[in-house]
Structures are given as C-alpha cells and as structure tokens.
Amino acid sequence: MIKKLLGILFLLVLVVGLVPSALAADTDVDGIEDSVDNCPAVANPSQLNTDGDLYGDACDTDDDNDEDLDGSDNCPLVANSNQSDSDGDGIGDACEEDADNDGHPNSTDNCPFTPNANQADNDHDRMGDVCDTDDDNDGAVDTIDTCDFTASSNLADSDGDGQGDVCDTDDDNDGVLDPSDNCPFTANPSQADADGDGIGDECDVCNAEPDTDGDGICNGADTDDDNDGDLDTADNCPLVANADQKDTDADGIGDTCDTDDDNDGDLDIADNCPLVSNANQADADSDGRGDVCDTDTELSDFEKRYTDYNDKFNTFEDDYFDVKRDYERAVERDDERDAEKFEEDLQDISDDLDKLLDDVNDLDKDIEREDDSKWDDVESDTEDLVDDIEAVQDRIERLLSGEDDVALVVDTPRTTAPPASAPSTVVIQDLPVDALANVGPIEPITQEKDNSLIWLLVGIAAVIAVIIFLVVVLLRL
C-alpha cells in the first residue's frame, strides 16, 4: 500500500512539473508559445498576419488572401484579384503609389490610371481631360461633341469642318474671322456691302435699302422700322426705338431722336438743363446745372462738417456703451486683467472725444465769425453736440474713478488655500486661466494590482497542502 501511495505521489509531482513545460513549448524558438503562435514551425516573433486568417505571413502562401499566391502576386500584401498593372512595371495598381507612372501619386492624380503629367482638367470636375469622357461637362460626350472644350448645347457646325460654331473662329470658313466678318455664317471673302449697313451682300436681304431694326424686312416694306411697337406713321422717332413716345418740347420729334429736347436753341449735348428751357444757360453756383433745373440740394461747408462730426460722435458713443458693458462684467467676475484692458479702451475713447471736441469747437467759432442768421440752426446743433461730447467724457471719467458705482478691488489678494472646514483637496494656484481651460474632471489615481504573484502563491500552497495530506495518510497506514 505504501508503495502505491508513493507511486501516486511521484506521478503527481511529475505531472505538476511537466504540464507547464508542455504548455510552454516553442518549436520555432521565436519567443511565442506554439499554442498561440500563428506559425509554430516558422520563427515570426512579430506575428504579422496581413489577411487576418489563421496563418502568419511567414508561413502563409497567400498573405493578402486574394487567391493569387505570393510568388506570382504583383501586390502580395494587398488584395487585388484582377492583378491590374496600368503602367506595366510589375507592381499592381492596388499597392503602387503612382499607378500610371506619370509623376503624380494616386491620391492627387486626377487620372490615377492614365498618364497625364500636366493634369489638365478643362471643366474643373477633378477628372483629367485624358480620362474624362465629357471634357466641357455640357452633357455631350466628347465622341459626338463638336466643341470638346467649350460647353454648349448647340452642336451646330455651319461650315462642316468638324469644329462647332461656338468654338470655331471662322464659322463660314471664308478666311475672315467671325468678329470682323459681315456675314459670319455665309462665306463672303470679299466682304462686299453695297448699302454700307454692316451686313454683307451675301447675307443682306436689303442690299438696296437699309433694315434699321435688323428684322430681315427692309425699311421700305417694314411698317415699324425701329421695332418699338409704334407704327412708323404715328411714331415720333420712326428710326429710333422709343416706345414711350416722350416729347418734352411737344415739337413732334421724340426726345430720343430730338437734338434739342427743350427747344431753347441750345443742343442737348451742351445744354445745362436739356429738358427745361433756359436759353441764357444761367448757372449761379457754377455746378454745371442751370439754375432753372438746379434743386440746390448740396450741403454747405458748415453743414457737411457738422454732419461728419455728429457721425463720429455717434460711433464713439456706441463704442463707449459696448466697452462700458464689458468693463462692468469684468468687474463683476473680479477679472482684473480684462478690466484693465477695458479701462485702456475707455481711455482711448476719451482721447478720441477730446480731439473731436476741439474740431466741433472750431466749427462753432467759424459759424460765430460768419455772423449770419441763416446758420443759426447749424450753430445750435453744434452747441448741442459739444454738450453731448462733454457728457460722455464725464461719464467715462466717473466710471474710471469709481464714482459710477463700479470699482475693481485690485489690492485684496485672492485666497488660494481652502477654508479650514473644507475637505482635503488639491489646490492649483498661480496658473493662467487658459492653462486649465481644456482640463477635464480630475479622476483619482488608482494603481492596478498585479494578480499573477498572488495566484502563483495560491498554487504553491495548494500543492503543499496536497503533499501534506498524502504524507498524513501514509503515516496513518
């Protein structure tokens, strides 16, 4: 019986000693136990496994799992079952940075699989011209478009030269460019124009007489030569369009074609009141407008100066109220730095008002020297403006001196230590406000315990307990 128990004890010790060794076997000696090694027979300490299957790259014959074995795969680490290789350099498009080998990486190449070093893109659609089937993006593919690089729904080609009219500089192919061709769609290299109307004889239906409105009906047969809706027989300007038929001087000739609309003997081009009769052309203020039609709305120099100063004051006053509001808020939150900045802004506004006050006082003196009752209203407004400026300056002075119920305590130091009754906490002091602006809540630091040592001790204790139990059983026998 004792021998059997001793044998059992021996086997137990042997198992305890050999099991960990078996579990820790490392056939390829790469530091990775066979039980978790994705290439147990081939050393691969990195355990790289590109396609995420059961086999590491070191022992996988198809690393990208695209059914093309690595030995013949032009992208062994990037799946590309079609093995496309646009530039024929032996490196597949899927794993080549510049698939068409034109000097532009695929990420920025507007034709990544078609060489186009110049990256031309006529319609700016981010698809290069060499691989874009509609280079002008007009809806007509290039194979049928008569103007590949000029967007147009009109595919007409008058001279049949394969170049559409919208992009052809000589639509009739007569050797005269369209801008200077008097018959751009009818070949007429001589540019003959018998009636001198600017329309070449080859395309002019009214060679012997004019066609004022260009409607294709010669004036002799056209009942409305200027095409303004008024028949020539009742039109006061039959050859110049004037649908309203306005005739200021009622001389039977519409203003549109009348060279003296007010019939005062002064032609409109030199008349300082072309629509109001004034034969003497009197112009008291020499402003180029005759007295009879001059409404004299121009402001005097005094009025212009007052208006300018008043506008400036309104701007400064608005600035004062804005800065005053910000200053009071800074004081309320005890923000000394912002408050000092706004104090400087208030002082700047006060300085600007000082300069403005000097200008307004000068204006007031100039008006007094003029000694003319017609300036009484301007003078009164100017004096009111002086009062307004001084009132704002007074408010600024009282605000900065603390007399306006706003005062920033700058001599009282802020306590950084917590009160005696407060719970223990971390005190952060002497840091700028923005240093903590993005700091989140402070979490307590916990130290993660390493449980491996505990479990090792527990295992050893268990083995010792088993051994003691067996010894006790043997001794009792």
Q: What is the mean pLDDT of the chain?
A: 81
- Identify the residue with better confidence: 288 or 415: 288
Query: Does residue 23 have a pLDDT over 60?
Result: no
pLDDT digits (tens, 9 = 90+) for 391-446: 999 999 998 887 765 443 333 333 333 333 334 333 334 444 444 344 444 444 44
Q: Looking at residue 424, what is its pLDDT?
A: 39
- pLDDT above 60: residue 363: yes
Check residue 247 and report its DSSP letter: -
With beta carbons less than 8 A apart as the criterion, state whether 366 and 409 touch. Answer: no
Q: CA 155, CA 148: separation in Å to the nearest integer?
A: 10
At position 140, the amino acid (one-letter code) is A
DSSP 374: G
Tokens representing 158 are: 């008058």
pLDDT over 90 at 469, yes or no: no
Closest CA to 193 of 183, 185, 184, 178: 183
What is the per-residue pLDDT for 390? 94
Asked if residues 151 and 170 have their Cβ atoms less than 8 Å apart, the reply is: no
pLDDT value at position 399? 87
Higher pLDDT, 38 or 447: 38
pLDDT at 413: 36
**CB-based contact 475:6 (threshold 8 Å):** no
What whole-number distance in Å separates Cα of residue 48 and Cα of residue 376? Answer: 95
DSSP helix/strand/coil, 165:
coil
Tell me, yes or no, if the pTM score tops 0.75: no
User: Angle of helix 336-370 relative to helix 301-332, nearest 10 degrees?
Assistant: 160
Mean pLDDT of 17-46: 78
